[in-house]
Structure 1
Amino acid sequence: MEPGESLLDVRDVSLRFGGVRALTNVSFTVNKGEVFSIIGPNGAGKTSMLNCISGRYRPTEGDVQFKGASLLKRSINDRARLGIGRTFQNLALFGHMSVLDNILVGRHHLLKNNVLTGMLYWVGGARREELAERRRVEEIIDFLEIQHVRGEPAGTLSYGLRKRVELARAMAIEPELILLDEPMAGMNLEEKEDMARYIIALSEEFGMTTVMIEHDMGVVMDLSDRVIVLDFGQKIAGGTPAEVLADEHVKKAYLGEEDEMLDALASSEMEGV
């Protein structure tokens, strides 16, 4: 696919849990190579949308298409094989395992050798395959600058470093589409600047397309090509960051956060002068 072509199409997706509507007729398209952000107040349905894309939830109505084909009958593992990776708002690492082993988990679906060939590890192709996978993981470790903790149990790391490890594991899938659920949450300014640099590189250096949930409006303004806004499970706006943040419906939805949004918009406009 060429940059700018549609990679992900969400078509009239609704999601209900009993009588509760988490999403109602939400539609949007993500183009190849974009950084595409989903914003909205807490409880707006943002993570529910990522769960519909990644396969944790199946929409009650509507369709999710990846590269022109429906994902509705595809399992989570199938979607990983197709090229969809994700991180989680609440970190989902194996705390007792090393950083290296956590990232290797992301390579599992790429392995060609099975249990039988693994028994011939030292004389067959399985050993060569594992060495190749480890080399790829080491490249990701170098990129994310976590060489110094590669052998440490993930559960012993600082929050910011664990966020990098989770991103590394998602990258290890070698996804075309990567879903990031609040990648900046809980980080200090320096950690946010590092993560922003990595997210930009996902597209520019690795050719990945990013769909991101993020509450930091400065980050959204700086990184996003396009943005949609959800409120009570409905899409209320979409467009460039500047267009969205100037939308009256968006300002009303955010209420007390309006000042922060306007400050982010003004800051961005000043930087462009």
Structure 2
Amino acid sequence: MSLRFGGVRALTDVSFEVRRGEVFSIIGPNGAGKTSMVNCISGRYRPTEGRISFDGQDITRLPPSRRAPLGIGRTFQNLALFGHMTVLDNIMVGRHHLLKSGFLRGMVYWLGGAQTEEIAHRREVEDIIDFLEIQHIRKEPAGTLSYGLRKRVELARAIALKPRLILLDEPMAGMNLEEKEDMARFILELNQEWGMTVLMIEHDMGVVMDISSRVMVLDFGKKIADGTPDEVLAHPQVRRAYLGEDLDESVEAAA
């Protein structure tokens, strides 16, 4: 797959596969094309060349609204919450395509059937709130929360889609160590206990290497390596492009 913006090549001939049930991470320097790749998978961008297949179905030309019902959810590098809405209502928005009676009708209780349906959906949302340990802020406006909690709420909204594949764009950016540890735990539980396949962009190499099944490295829009965390760390191009050529000497000098 390739992606161009005018004369600028964001991605060039990148091919890879995410296997069902794994945590697959994409790493690389700033401007490597990581978010562009996720935007193509989610439908925000359409590739200039190539195709995207999900569970055997070609989704290259499908808009985002038609990818969500197939089981693809995502979070954003820059938070995309509704600041004036409560945490609970932000998460409920994530379930709009699952409401058979229509989201608005469910919200305002126009019909008994819609009311019953919304109650069932709210139960599932409460389960997500319990899972992410955000019970204490469920009625707070999202815009009043700390950055770390807003990242957790955005994850909750993505989970509310009930995706089979969840795309996480820098889920730990701007977090302190404790918040990162919590987020890593949530991601692993989503993968191992909730059965979600995870595709993640993340700059924290420690987290990536700890929780990923496989890793792909992009540099200037091109794939330079993929494999297990150990294989990627040992790759000479990765060490030059991402970790730095003099890594070993620096560690020895510090020791």
Q: TM-score, normalised by structure 1?
A: 0.88
For 1:57, the equivalent position in structure 2 comes to 45
Higher strand share: 1
Instruction: Spell out, residue by residue over 1:34-93, the C-alpha distance to the aligned partner (whole angstroms, 9 max, x if none).
Output: 000000000000000000000000000000000011111211011001000000111110
Contact 1:22 1:232 in 2 (8 A): yes
Q: Does 1:245 align with 2:233?
A: yes
For 1:16, the equivalent position in structure 2 comes to 4
Contact 2:107 2:118 in 1 (8 A): no
For 1:207, the equivalent position in structure 2 comes to 195
Q: Give the alignment partner of residue 125 of structure 2, picking from 137, 157, 163.
A: 137
Name the aligned partner's letter for residue 6 of structure 2: G
Name the aligned partner's letter for residue 177 of structure 2: L
Q: Give the alignment partner of residue 68 of structure 1, picking from 48, 52, 56.
A: 56
For 1:251 and 1:144, locate their aligned partners in 2 and report how far apart those are by CA, in whole Å. Answer: 35
Moved over 4 A (4+): 115-120, 255-258
Q: Does 1:221 align with 2:185?
A: no
Q: Give the alignment partner of residue 32 of structure 2, picking from 44, 61, 70.
A: 44
1:57–1:191 distance in 2 versus 1, CA, 3 Å? same
Tell me the number of residue pairs that the alignment of Structure 1 and Structure 2 aligns.
Answer: 250
Instruction: Spell out, residue by residue over 1:9-47, the C-alpha distance to the aligned partner (whole angstroms, 9 max, x if none).
Output: xxxx10000000000000000111100000000000000
Structure 2, unaligned runs of 5 or more: none
Contact 1:117 1:125 in 2 (8 A): no
Structure 1, unaligned runs of 5 or more: 1-12, 264-273
For 1:176, the equivalent position in structure 2 comes to 164
1:24–1:160 distance in 2 versus 1, CA, 3 Å? same
- Report deviation, 1:259: 3.6
Q: How do 1:92-131 residues align onto structure 2 when only pairs under 5 Å count?
A: 92-114=80-102, 121=109, 123-131=111-119
Name the aligned partner's letter for residue 244 of structure 1: V
For 2:143, the equivalent position in structure 1 comes to 155
Name the aligned partner's letter for residue 202 of structure 2: E
For 1:55 and 1:111, locate their aligned partners in 2 and report how far apart those are by CA, in whole Å. Answer: 22
Instruction: Spell out, residue by residue over 1:72-125, the C-alpha distance to the aligned partner (whole angstroms, 9 max, x if none).
Output: 121101100100000011111001100000000000000101489669936530
Q: TM-score, normalised by structure 2?
A: 0.94
Q: Does 1:165 align with 2:153?
A: yes
For 1:116 and 1:149, locate their aligned partners in 2 and report how far apart those are by CA, in whole Å. Answer: 24
1:213–1:115 distance in 2 versus 1, CA, 3 Å? closer
For 2:155 and 2:80, locate their aligned partners in 1 and report how far apart those are by CA, in whole Å. Answer: 11
Instruction: Spell out, residue by residue over 1:223-254, the C-alpha distance to the aligned partner (whole angstroms, 9 max, x if none).
Output: 00000000000000000001001100111112
Percent identity for Structure 1 against Structure 2: 74
